Structure 1
Amino acid sequence: MSKEKKYQSNSLLRGLRILEAFGSGHAQMTLSQIADEISVTSSAAFRFVHTLEQEGYLIKNEAARTFRLAPRVMELGYSYIKALDLSEVAADHARALRDHSGFSVHVAVLENTEAVYVFRAMSPSPMVSNIPVGSRLPAFATSMGRIMLCSLSDEELDRRFEDYEFQKFTETTIETLDELKSALIEDRKRGYVAQASQLAEGTVAIAAPIYDRSNYAIGSVNISGHRNQLTATEDLIQMVRQCAERISEMQ
């Protein structure tokens, strides 16, 4: 017997295989069906099933004498998803947004006063907004940073931006914390940020927040492009917001 097999728990393996057995064509199963699926006697299957039922992973239909998966099983999936980097969770949705909108898509997280770019789906357009993964940009001057700052209280904003030097990048760049707070009030009302870049002339972006289960903005997603190509239409705004909502649902 190998060292790996020596420490293997057959009871745990069978319990897991019972959960795996519920799938396409097996939404509900009787005890004998479960026993057949994992190749054990009905009495052995009963012990495994009883334990899973007691722990909240299976629900018994008394009338039909069948079992089905309980909602608690989903918590295992949520734990896995939560452990993934936001970039992995958001990747497919971000690419879909790029394909539907035709514009480059970025995903960022907030670190102190910076928007950190963690994912990028490039548009094939010749005039493309291209911010590399790993870039750190001032949150107050970016669409994604602004919408993430909306989750912070005034007290937290005061703490983070104490002694902060607001650099003026363009004519429209916010220059003070009071200006930022005023802008965030409007951003919160809208639920998104759509603006010409306050970092560099010529680009436009639309950003929406990605929330966790406590309704805290853990990230954001945007589309961006040249101002001659990208206009903040209602259709594009809704595309971005729906993408953010889909990613949020996976948190």
Structure 2
Amino acid sequence: MDNKSKKYQSNSLLRGLRILEAFGAGRAQMTLSQIADEISVTSSAAFRFVHTLEQEGYLIKNEAERTFRLAPRVMELGYSYIKSLDLNDVAASHARHLRDLSGFSVHVAVLENTDAVYVFRAMSPSPMVSNIPVGSRLPAFATSMGRIMLSSLSDEEIDRRFKEYEFQKFTDATIGTLNELKIALKEDQKRGYTAQASQLAEGTNAIAAPIHDRSGYAIGAVNISGHHNQLGLNEHLINMVLDCAKRISEMQ
């Protein structure tokens, strides 16, 4: 790496990443002094990095043994990447079939913390098309796919992810508080799908269903979306989306 590139590096971020990389075979747990030695800093400097990683959910402290270990959130980073690649390959043909069958745009997304990340799109030829580019990150609480993926999480996990989260009002119908979100998620979970007017932009409807892996974990979601004058939230379209999600799930 040349000197110009190094100039833009964040040393704090690099040290945080090296702490996470230091855990591995034979080093499932480490003390603060061991972590400090690993990244060549003082214990007081290491404490700041470790405290931040713990607060953000990447490390867990064992108070009794005064050691730290990786938290499940670290696994989520890699898993989100892997499952997005898998879903691209597996979901493509079924998503295109749903688009052709319904006449509406179809999107596939995965959940990353509080965002729905769009990983596949099959656009409708309709002039009143709903078109969200692949790679877009939208607030999960305000999207149909984000909502149905969040509904699979425990109350404790929802609390962790949305602690001190600022709910932005995009439309009059947009969820505005954590309590409102929890109530909506319970209803989504009970139904097994989300069918709603868009909470991000006026004039659009969407229907979303979860994509499960073999263990029943929601690894993603698929939806159809379109102008509210064309896309009715009816049982026929809901069943189309549920069937598409089921077919993709069966291939996991």
Q: Secondary structure at the residue paired with 1:118?
A: strand
- 2:118 is equivalent to residue 120 of structure 1: no
Shift in Å, 1:84: 5.1
- Match of residue 207 from structure 1: 208
CA pair 84-94 structure 1, distance change in 2 beyond 3 A: same
Shift in Å, 1:83: 9.8
Shift in Å, 1:82: 7.6
Structure 1 gap segments, 5+ residues each? 1-80
CA pair 84-166 structure 1, distance change in 2 beyond 3 A: closer
Question: Residue by residue, what CA displacement relative to the aligned partner does 1:191-223 show, whole Å, maximum 9, x if unpaired?
Answer: 000000000000000000000111111000000
Structure 1 vs Structure 2 CA RMSD: 1.4
Aligned partners of 2:109 and 2:116 also within 8 Å: yes
Question: Residue by residue, what CA displacement relative to the aligned partner does 1:212-251 show, whole Å, maximum 9, x if unpaired?
Answer: 1111110000000000110011110000000000000011
Aligned ranges 1:188-199 → 2 under 5 Å: 188-199=189-200
Question: Residue by residue, what CA displacement relative to the aligned partner does 1:96-115 show, whole Å, maximum 9, x if unpaired?
Answer: 00000000000000000000
4+ residue runs over 4 A deviation: 81-84
Aligned ranges 1:215-226 → 2 under 5 Å: 215-226=216-227
Which whole-Å CA distance do the structure 1 matches of 2:238 and 2:147 have between them? 16
Which whole-Å CA distance do the structure 2 matches of 1:83 and 1:149 have between them? 16
Aligned residue identity for 1:217: A
Shift in Å, 1:85: 2.1
Aligned residue identity for 1:87: N
- Match of residue 95 from structure 2: 94
- Match of residue 243 from structure 1: 244
Shift in Å, 1:88: 1.1
Aligned partners of 2:84 and 2:110 also within 8 Å: no
Question: Residue by residue, what CA displacement relative to the aligned partner does 1:66-99 show, whole Å, maximum 9, x if unpaired?
Answer: xxxxxxxxxxxxxxx9895211110000000000
- Match of residue 134 from structure 2: 133
Aligned partners of 2:114 and 2:139 also within 8 Å: yes
In the comparison of the two structures, how many residue pairs are matched?
171
Which whole-Å CA distance do the structure 2 matches of 1:119 and 1:83 have between them? 9
CA pair 173-83 structure 1, distance change in 2 beyond 3 A: closer
Aligned ranges 1:44-63 → 2 under 5 Å: none
Aligned residue identity for 1:132: P
- 2:213 is equivalent to residue 231 of structure 1: no
Give the percent of matched residue pairs that are identical in Structure 1 and Structure 2. 81
CA pair 142-162 structure 1, distance change in 2 beyond 3 A: same
CA pair 83-146 structure 1, distance change in 2 beyond 3 A: closer
Structure 2 gap segments, 5+ residues each? 1-81
- Match of residue 86 from structure 2: 85
TM-score, normalising length from structure 2?
0.66
Aligned residue identity for 2:103: G
Q: Secondary structure at the residue paired with 1:147?
A: helix
